[in-house]
Amino acid sequence: MPPDSDPLAEIVESNSPETALFIGPLAKSAAESYGANHAGARLTVYQGTDPLADLGKLGRVDLAVIAHGLEMLEKRRAGHLLAALRDVHSRCLVVAVRLGDNWPGLISHWSENELLAFGMRRRAHVEQQGRPIGVYEFNIKDYKINPDWLNPRHWAHPELWDAYRW
């Protein structure tokens, strides 16, 4: 990945949301860069301290972005925020998070496995000051792809319905 690329901005741009919610210290810059190219988009930058408590007022959006805000919440509360955004308040959720416990001044520490447990996929992995930052995405459109065997061609066999007596 080129050093001047911004994976968070690229993911936001690829989703091209009409409505978006940005949470966290770095989310404001992502919102400004997206808003500069998409004047009709309704973007909300949350600047409060407890996004979970205010989600009901913010409504449902096409895209929710948390950029370095997850680590500033207590672990259990941050998990509830992820689940609420993923399940109720957005169609797509993007999280940029500092990984591991070698970051000073954070309230909670996250690992890749914990984010994968929320059904997220890793979209990018970058290093800052020799420490990892991961960008993860949960998109309900491509969360689960139906396997090939799960279709009538493999299990219905209507031509055999009257052939056997059960």
What would the pLDDT profile of 39-92 be if each residue is shown by its tens digit? 899 999 998 888 988 888 888 999 999 999 899 999 999 999 999 999 999 999
Of 78, 84, 119, 83, the C-alpha closest to 97 is: 78
What would the pLDDT profile of 88-145 be if each residue is shown by its tens digit? 999 999 999 999 988 888 999 999 999 999 999 999 999 988 899 999 999 988 887 7
Distances (CA, A) of 92 to 121, 124, 140: 12, 16, 6
Q: Write the CB contacts of 146 (distance below 8 Å, at least 6 apart in sequence).
A: none
N-term to C-term CA, the chain: 60
What would the pLDDT profile of 12-37 be if each residue is shown by its tens digit? 999 999 999 999 888 888 898 899 98
